[in-house]
Structures are given as C-alpha cells and as structure tokens.
C-alpha cells in the first residue's frame, strides 16, 4: 500500500516529461495548420496594408484639394447695385 503514492508521483512526473517533450518537438516543427495560419495572417495583413495605403492616398488628395481651394483670388468688387446691397447687408458693421 505504501508503494501507491510513490508510483502515482512517478507516473505524474513521467507524463509531465512526455508532454514537455511533445511541446518542444511541436514548437521546433510547425505543423501544416500552423503554417496555414501564418500564411493567412500574412495575407490579411497585406490586405489591410493595401486598404491603409489607399486611405492615406485619399487623405493626401483631400489635403491637396483643400490647399488649392485655400489659395483663392481676392474678392472682386460688386458690379451691380443688388450685389452691393447684399454685400452691405452681410458685411460686419463697426459700432
């Protein structure tokens, strides 16, 4: 009866060592599933990078448009009486 406890401890240690060796071998040699997961991750990362590059290019295009629109000409003088009335109505008044 006293041999049961040492036998259980020995069995536990043997199983732990076997599991550790299997994990070590699995880490050294990636399986087909691991390689497939790695390829899928790379593919998805490339797709994300393409979307990111197009978004950055779109932002640059918007920035260039905004810069172009910011360089407007000086406002021209109103040519008709109606335009002058509108200009006077909406211009800030000095109090």
How far apart CA 54 and CA 59 sit, in angstroms, is 9
pTM, two decimal places: 0.37
pLDDT surpasses 90 at 20: yes
Domain range list for the chain = 25-66
Rg (CA), the chain: 38
Q: Is the pLDDT of residue 27 over 70?
A: yes
> For residue 78, how many other CB atoms are within 10 A of its CB?
13
Q: Which residue has the higher pLDDT, 78 or 95?
A: 78
Q: What percentage of the chain carries pLDDT values higher than 90?
A: 24
Per-residue confidence (pLDDT) for residue 77, from 0 to 100: 66
Region 26-40: what's the mean pLDDT?
79
Q: Which residues contact 86 (CB under 8 A, 6 or more apart)?
A: 78
| pLDDT higher at 10 or 67 | 10
């Amino acid at each position: 009866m006293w041999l049961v406890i040492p036998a259980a401890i020995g069995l536990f240690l043997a199983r732990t060592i076997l599991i550790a060796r299997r994990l070590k071998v699995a880490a050294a040699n990636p399986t087909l599933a691991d390689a497939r997961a790695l390829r899928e991750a790379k593919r998805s990362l490339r797709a994300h990078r393409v979307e990111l590059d197009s978004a950055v290019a779109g932002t640059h295009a918007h920035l260039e448009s905004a810069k172009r629109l910011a360089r407007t000409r000086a406002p021209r003088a109103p040519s008709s009486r109606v335009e002058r009335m509108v200009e006077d109505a909406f211009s800030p008044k000095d109090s």
